[in-house]
C-alpha cells in the first residue's frame, strides 16, 4: 500500500472554499429567477387557452419556490449526519410512497408512467424525494462497509438488494429515466467503496443495457426510441416534440426574437412550461442566453462538487457527490432531449421548469450541500490510500 498526498491548495483555494456556499446559493437564486421569468413568458399562452389566466400557474410556482426555499433554509441547519442515521426510516417512507403510485384513486399515470400520487389537490412524484433518501442510505452503508448490519448480512448485499428493489419498482411503473439515475447512484457508491474499475465499468454497461432492453419491451418507449433514431420519418408522431424543439432553438438565432415573442409556445410545442421550457428560452433570448444558462449549471455542479470534495467525512462526500450527480445528470438529460441528442424522456430542467416535486428536491439538495459546507474540514487536504485498484479516500 502506498499513500499519495495531494496538497496543492494555496491561499486562493482556501478563500474560494470559504465562499463556495455563497456562490452555490447565488447560482441557485439566479436559476430560479430565470425560471420565473421564462415561465411568466411561456404561460401567456394560457390566457387564450383552457386555463383562462396564467395567474394560477404562476401562483403555484411561486408557492413551490417559497416552500422550497424554506426547506432549503431548514436543511442547511440540520446536521446531515442525523439524516444519514435515519436514512433507513426515510427510505422506508419513500418505499411506501412508491407503493401508493399503484393504488387506484391515489396514484395516476402521466405519459404512460405510474409515478405520481395526488395529495390535497397537488400531484407529488415520490421518486424525486426518494433520490435524496437513497443518497443518505448509501452514505450510511458506506460507513458500515467493514461491519455487518441487518440480520448479520453484509452491507454490500443489503445495498444491492434495496437499490435493485427500487429500480425494479421504477421499471414496473414505466419510469426508466429515474431507474437509470438510481443505478448511477449505485455505481457511485461502488466507486467510493473501493471497487475495482474492472468491476464497475461492466456493471455500468450492464445497467444501461438492461434499461435499454426494458425500454424496447415497452411499446410506448420503443416507439419513442425508433422516432429518435429517425426523426424525419415521424415528424407528426413521437418525434413531434423534439422536432418542434429544434425549430424553436433554430428560430432564436444568436440573440432571440425577444422576451415574450416565441411562436412555438403558442401550442406548437407541448410541455413548453415543463420539460421543454429551454427551447422557448432559446427562441426568445437566443443562443447567447442558452449558453449563459448552461454555464450557470456547469458552475453549480462544479461548486457543489467542490463542497462535496471538502466534506468532513466519507458520508458527506457520498451525499454531496450524489446530489451533485443527480442534478447534473438531470440537467444533461433534459438538454440532451431538447437538442435531439437523446431520446425523449420526461426530465424537467432543474430550478427552471414548472412543477413542485423536482423543485423541492433541488432546493432540499442545496440545503444539504450548504450544511456539508458549513461542516467542512478545517484542513484542506486530501489523502488517497491505494492498493492496486482499491481506493480509500480520506478527508
- Over residues 202-228, the pLDDT tens digits come to 888 888 899 888 888 887 778 778 777
pLDDT score, position 198: 85
What does the mean pLDDT of the chain come to? 82
User: Which residue from 333, 75, 365, 48 is spatially nearest to 184, judged by alpha carbons?
Assistant: 333
The upper half-sphere exposure of residue 393, i.e. CA atoms within 13 Å in the direction of its Cβ, equals 21
Which of the two residues, 36 and 117, has the higher pLDDT score?
A: 36
- pTM for the whole thing? 0.88
C-alpha span between 186 and 204 (Å, rounded):
9
Indicate the pLDDT class of residue 23, thresholds 50, 70 and 90: very high
pLDDT score, position 123: 78
Query: What totals of helices (H) and strands (E) does the chain contain, helices first?
Result: 14, 6
Please state which of the ranges 193-202, 238-247, 323-332, 374-383 shows the lowest mean pLDDT. Answer: 374-383
pLDDT score, position 153: 59
**Cell digits of residue 73:** 433554509
CA triplet 305, 310, 312: central angle to 5 degrees? Answer: 130
pLDDT score, position 2: 42
pLDDT score, position 120: 67
Q: What is the mean pLDDT of residues 340-345?
A: 85
Instruction: Check pLDDT > 60 for residue 172.
Output: yes
**Cell digits of residue 89:** 426510516
**Cell digits of residue 18:** 470559504
Indicate the pLDDT class of residue 15, thresholds 50, 70 and 90: low
Indicate the pLDDT class of residue 131, thresholds 50, 70 and 90: very high
Q: If 0-12 CB within 10 Å is exposed, 13-18 middle and 19+ buried, where does residue 291 land?
A: exposed
Q: Give residue-wise pLDDT tens across range 29-66.
A: 999 999 999 998 887 665 555 544 556 788 888 999 99
pLDDT score, position 116: 78
Which of the two residues, 351 and 388, has the higher pLDDT score?
A: 351
Which of the two residues, 281 and 49, has the higher pLDDT score?
A: 281
Q: What is the mean pLDDT of residues 150-156?
A: 62
pLDDT score, position 45: 60
Share of the chain above pLDDT 70, in %: 83
Instruction: Check pLDDT > 70 for residue 318.
Output: yes
pLDDT score, position 98: 86
Q: What is the mean pLDDT of residues 252-262?
A: 88
Instruction: Check pLDDT > 80 for residue 382.
Output: no
Indicate the pLDDT class of residue 195, thresholds 50, 70 and 90: confident
**Cell digits of residue 248:** 424553436
Indicate the pLDDT class of residue 365, thresholds 50, 70 and 90: very high
User: Which residue from 26, 30, 134 is spatially nearest to 351, judged by alpha carbons?
Assistant: 30
Instruction: Check pLDDT > 70 for residue 151.
Output: no
Indicate the pLDDT class of residue 395, thresholds 50, 70 and 90: very low
Domain residue spans of the chain: 11-394
pLDDT score, position 14: 58
pLDDT score, position 230: 75
Can you state the percent helix, strand and coil of the chain, rounding each to 5? 65, 10, 25
- Whats the size of the chain, residue-wise? 395
Q: CB within 8 A of 355, min separation 6: which ones? A: 64, 274, 348
Q: Give residue-wise pLDDT tens across range 287-316.
A: 999 999 999 999 999 999 999 988 888 899
Indicate the pLDDT class of residue 283, thresholds 50, 70 and 90: very high
Q: What is the mean pLDDT of residues 134-147?
A: 81
Amino acid at each position: 500500500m502506498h499513500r499519495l498526498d495531494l496538497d496543492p491548495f494555496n491561499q486562493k483555494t482556501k478563500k474560494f472554499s470559504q465562499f463556495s456556499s455563497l456562490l452555490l446559493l447565488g447560482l441557485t437564486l439566479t436559476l430560479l429567477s430565470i425560471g420565473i421569468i421564462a415561465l411568466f413568458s411561456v404561460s401567456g399562452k394560457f390566457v387564450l387557452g383552457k386555463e383562462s389566466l396564467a395567474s394560477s400557474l404562476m401562483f403555484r410556482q411561486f408557492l413551490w419556490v417559497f416552500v422550497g426555499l424554506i426547506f432549503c433554509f431548514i436543511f442547511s441547519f440540520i446536521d446531515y449526519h442525523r439524516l444519514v442515521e435515519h436514512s433507513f426510516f426515510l427510505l422506508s417512507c419513500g418505499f411506501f410512497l412508491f407503493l401508493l403510485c399503484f393504488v387506484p384513486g391515489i396514484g395516476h399515470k402521466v405519459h404512460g408512467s405510474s409515478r405520481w400520487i395526488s395529495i390535497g389537490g397537488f400531484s407529488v412524484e415520490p421518486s424525486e424525494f426518494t433520490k435524496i433518501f437513497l443518497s443518505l442510505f448509501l452514505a450510511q452503508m458506506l460507513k458500515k462497509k467493514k461491519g455487518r448490519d441487518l440480520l448479520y448480512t453484509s452491507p454490500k448485499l443489503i445495498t444491492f438488494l434495496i437499490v435493485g428493489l427500487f429500480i425494479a419498482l421504477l421499471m414496473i411503473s414505466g419510469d426508466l429515466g429515474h431507474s437509470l439515475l438510481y443505478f448511477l447512484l449505485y455505481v457511485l457508491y461502488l466507486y467510493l467503496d473501493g471497487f475495482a474499475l474492472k468491476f464497475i465499468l461492466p456493471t455500468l454497461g450492464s445497467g444501461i443495457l438492461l434499461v435499454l432492453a426494458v425500454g424496447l419491451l415497452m411499446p410506448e418507449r420503443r416507439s419513442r426510441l425508433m422516432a429518435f433514431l429517425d426523426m424525419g420519418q415521424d415528424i407528426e408522431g413521437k418525434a413531434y416534440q423534439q422536432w418542434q424543439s429544434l425549430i424553436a432553438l433554430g428560430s432564436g438565432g444568436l440573440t432571440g426574437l425577444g422576451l415574450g415573442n416565441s411562436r412555438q409556445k403558442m401550442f406548437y410545442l407541448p410541455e413548453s412550461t415543463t420539460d421543454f421550457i429551454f427551447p422557448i428560452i432559446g427562441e426568445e433570448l437566443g443562443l447567447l442566453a442558452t449558453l449563459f444558462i448552461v454555464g450557470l449549471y456547469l458552475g453549480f455542479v462544479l461548486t457543489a462538487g467542490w463542497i462535496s470534495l471538502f466534506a468532513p467525512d466519507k458520508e458527506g462526500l457520498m451525499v454531496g457527490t450524489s446530489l451533485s450527480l443527480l442534478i447534473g445528470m438531470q440537467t444533461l438529460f433534459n438538454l440532451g432531449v431538447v437538442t435531439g441528442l437523446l431520446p425523449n424522456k420526461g426530465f424537467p430542467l432543474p430550478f427552471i421548469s414548472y412543477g413542485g416535486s423536482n423543485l423541492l428536491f433541488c432546493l432540499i439538495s442545496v440545503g444539504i450541500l450548504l450544511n456539508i459546507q458549513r461542516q467542512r474540514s478545517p484542513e484542506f487536504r486530501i489523502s488517497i490510500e491505494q492498493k492496486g485498484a482499491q481506493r480509500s479516500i480520506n478527508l
